[in-house]
A and B are shown apart, each in its own frame.
Chain A
Amino acid sequence: MNVQELLAPLGLNFKLLFIQLFGFLILFWLLKKFLFGRVMEMVQKRGDEIRSAYEENERTRDEVKSLQSEYQQKLQEARKEAEEIIQSATEKAEKAGQEIITKTRQEADDLRKRGLAEIEQEKQKVISEVRTDVVNLSVEIAKRLIEKSVEKQDAEKLADDVIKKLGGVTL
């Protein structure tokens, strides 16, 4: 009794079995080509894209971190620089202000001194003029008096005395 006879009650038939086997192989080929091939390709592609996007994301994040750190550093440097500039400017301004004040004071002082000198000069001038006028006036008076009653020599002596007395006068 061969295998086919043994399994005949189960309905075994080698020809039908071969047809089914051939059909299965054709189906396998078709599904491999049109189902598993395509789906696995898409899954692989998607996986690659996700991986690449993830890597890109990681890279970008690293870059952002690096840039952020760089930015922070630059910001700190800028702040420091700004502070230095402000400090330097303040110092310069203070110095300039001080200089201006000193200069102004100096100028004011000079002006005051010059003014005082001028006043003094004017005063001396006025005194001198007054003195001259007084002398002239005295002389004129003396001349007139002398002309009336006193000798010329007495008149001059008198005039000198008047002048000497006038020398103590202050304005």
Chain B
Amino acid sequence: MATEAHGDSAAHAAQSAEQKLELPSFLDFTGLDMHHQYFGFTLHEWLPVIMSGIVGLVLVSFSLYATRRMEKIPRGSQAFIELVVEGLYDFISGTLGKNTAKYFPFFGTLFIYIITMNLWGLIPLMHSPTNQINTTLSMAIVVFVLYNFEGIRKKGWGYFKHFFEPLFLAPLMFPLHVIGEFVRPMSLSIRLFGNLTGEDLTIALLVMMTPFIFGLIPVPIHLVMVLMALLFSTIQATIFTLLSAVYLSLALDEDEH
């Protein structure tokens, strides 16, 4: 009975999440039923995965295009991609220091992927995959596993020492530290997801409220929010990457936390 009640509430919550206010995607114009099940999920549920796939495809395609013929004197797309990569390297090296070279591809991917996904929703008929908790939490879990794994690999069992500090308060601090540890990926993912959901909802709302002059010429009042979304998307991608790098840096740090 209780299980059934739980199941109902979960289904209801999922349905309400699915019914949230959002702009149409290109899939809405394909004539496909968005609520039809494909491989156990509705097309609407697949949407963030499809958008992530497209983003990934675009990133990989552009990478392949820009690096197809690397020249000593960079031009065009190669110059752009080098500028981005070197800028990111400098940005991450500020946190990771001497460990930068080893972990740079991971954090570079993280930043580029998140910022592209964040901005993706600003393209008409596209959605930001980062306004789904599944997308943000998946990356946060990878970060969580990475920094714990690297910390244990580097320090062995000594890595868990900080869970018991200060020692005289160990019984009290241990659960707090454990909770704190698990809160990290949650805070990372919910922050990004929340911000992007807020942005997209506001834009969708403003689009729906668009006034028409003489009932013909639309006034794009959502444009201000789009401009702000450009800024917020960049900031959120930066925060996610920077905090992830800080967690790793703390895990690898020789000194105790």
Contact = CB atoms under 8 A, between A and B. Distances in A.
Interface of A: 1, 4-5, 7-13, 15-21, 23-28, 30-32, 34-43, 45-46, 49
Contact of A5 (B10, B40, B142): B10
A37 to B, nearest CB: 7
Given A13-B14, A16-B134, A27-B59, 9 more contacts: A7-B133, A11-B14, A18-B138, A23-B52, A23-B56, A31-B105, A35-B59, A42-B74, A43-B86
On chain B, which size bracket covers the interface?
35 or more
B207 interface: no
Contact of B193 (A10, A18, A32): A10
A53 to B, nearest CB: 11
- Determine chain B's interface SS by DSSP, over half rule: helix
Interface of B: 6, 9-10, 13-14, 16-18, 40-41, 45, 48-49, 52-53, 56, 59-60, 63-64, 66-67, 70, 72, 74, 81-82, 85-86, 89, 101, 104-106, 108-109, 112-113, 129, 132-135, 137-139, 141-142, 190, 193
Given A13-B134, A35-B85, A19 B63 contact: no
A24 B138 contact: yes
- Determine chain A's interface SS by DSSP, over half rule: helix
Contact of A32 (B14, B109, B142): B109
Given A36-B104, A43-B82, A5 B48 contact: no
A171 to B, nearest CB: 111
